[in-house]
Amino acid sequence: MAGSGAPLRLRDWLVAQIESGRYEGLRWEDADKTIFRIPWKHAAKLGYEVQQDAALFRAWAVYKGKHLEGTDKEEPSTWKTRLRCALNKSADFCEVRERNQLDISNPYKVYRIVAKGTCGPGYQAPSEDLSNPDCWLHVRLYYGAVLVTEATARTAEGCCLSPRAAATEHLLGPLQRIAQVCFPPPPPGARALQHLLPHLERGVLLWVAPEGVFAKRLCQGRVYWRGPLAPHRARPNKLERERTCQLLDTRRFLAELCAHLRDGHPEPEYQIRLCFGEEYPGPPGQPEERLVMAHVEPVFAQKLLLHLKRFGLGDPVDPQSSMPSFIHLLTHLSQP
């Protein structure tokens, strides 16, 4: 802890900036405040505005005495490099590269704050975040109509669906806390499965953020999905490789849940289906089952639906109840 008047370490300074709300796009990605997003727009990008897009980088340069306002020339690229280097050198941060979005109109990087005392070279981060069900995902894997694996991923970083955990270790790195949900070996004689699984080697990443549920396909094999935000209901929706796709929107889920409880509208959809290697859904009348499928449910949505069905919208919330914590926040934000 820095003494009175002592300069803050990068960790404490950056947390203070996130909490201040002064910088657009700088925000927490999880309810436990261990993962955060930093806007990362390139200075050469169309629409770049120094006052807004370089504000955080400038603030760090000013704080470290590397830029004097009104005296030194504007150097947004240099400011950005300084903060990037500071983040990379610090043992307090770990870049979550698979969640970066650098090719969109408002690009950003994602970092995780490493727990104190856990940054040694041989450190293996805990595999579960048992205290916070906001980020949990319940996953069921099917081969045809047979349930072959069922697991709940209990980490803020989400989970990776893949044939082998070791196959993604080089990609995710030893400090990552991504849960592994592995496809089991195919039964003897299942040639189609034996042919398909190697094409799923790098898997599909799934995670929960305050905005909703997201996925990124890393594997070579095709993956199709169905869920609340699927653009087509009767036609296949393909997950594009190396692109983040939002599968569920939290605010929309809340609005539909309120409409269901108040006005009798249908229950909000929160179940997500992933189909590996085959187009899905198929033509009308075709069986629902496929060679390999994953049924995914965000635990917060399931718990919230059950909670409000039991207690109703108007009842006070028991502080010891299982209401997801960021839902409390979003509910307040959604109120007029």
293: domain CATH number is 2.60.200.10
Give the pLDDT score at 26: 95
In 3-91, which ranges are continuous DSSP H helix?
A: 10-20, 50-53, 55-63, 76-89
Residues 52 and 172 in one domain: no
pLDDT tens, position by position, 99-135: 889 888 889 999 999 875 444 333 233 344 444 677 8
Residue 123 maps to a domain: no
Token pair 């094999």 in the structure block, residue: 221
Task: State the pLDDT confidence band at 276, using cuts at 50, 70 and 90.
Answer: very high
Report how far residue 150's alpha carbon sits from residue 198's, in angstroms, rounded to the nearest whole number.
21
Q: Which parts of the chain are beta strand (E)? A: 27-28, 35-39, 93-95, 108-113, 137-143, 146-153, 159-162, 179-182, 204-209, 212-217, 223-226, 244-249, 272-276, 292-298
Residues 160 and 281 in one domain: yes
Residue 124 maps to a domain: no
Residue 260 maps to a domain: yes
Residue 175 maps to a domain: yes
Tell me which DSSP letter residue 185 carries: P
Residues 320 and 199 in one domain: yes
Residues 184 and 321 in one domain: yes
Mean pLDDT of 206-234: 92
- Bigger pLDDT: 195 or 177? 195
User: Which strand (E) or helix (H) includes residue 330?
Assistant: helix 325-334
Alpha-carbon separation of residue 330 from 168, 212, 297, 325 (angstroms): 34, 11, 19, 9
Give the pLDDT score at 105: 86
Residue 184 maps to a domain: yes
Half-sphere exposure of 219 (CA within 13 A, CB side): 27
Structural domain harbouring 197: 133-334
Domain boundary among 113, 143, 174: 113
Give the pLDDT score at 171: 53
For the chain, how many structural domains are there in total? 2
Q: What residues pair up with 287 in beta bridges, in sequence order?
A: none
CATH number, domain at 67? 1.10.10.10
Residue 4 maps to a domain: no
Domain boundary among 53, 83, 113: 113
Residues 74 and 139 in one domain: no
Residues 68 and 157 in one domain: no
Residues 149 and 103 in one domain: no
Residue 105 maps to a domain: yes
Task: State the pLDDT confidence band at 36, using cuts at 50, 70 and 90.
Answer: very high
Residues 55 and 93 in one domain: yes
Mean pLDDT of 29-49: 87
Both structure tokens of 71: 């005296």
Residues 150 and 94 in one domain: no
Report how far residue 78's alpha carbon sits from residue 31's, in angstroms, rounded to the nearest whole number.
32
- Dihedral angle of Cα 198, 295, 136, 164, to the nearest 10 degrees: -10
Residue 172 maps to a domain: yes
Residues 310 and 214 in one domain: yes
Residues 109 and 149 in one domain: no
Residues 315 and 179 in one domain: yes
Domain boundary among 68, 84, 113: 113
Report how far residue 325's alpha carbon sits from residue 43's, in angstroms, rounded to the nearest whole number.
37
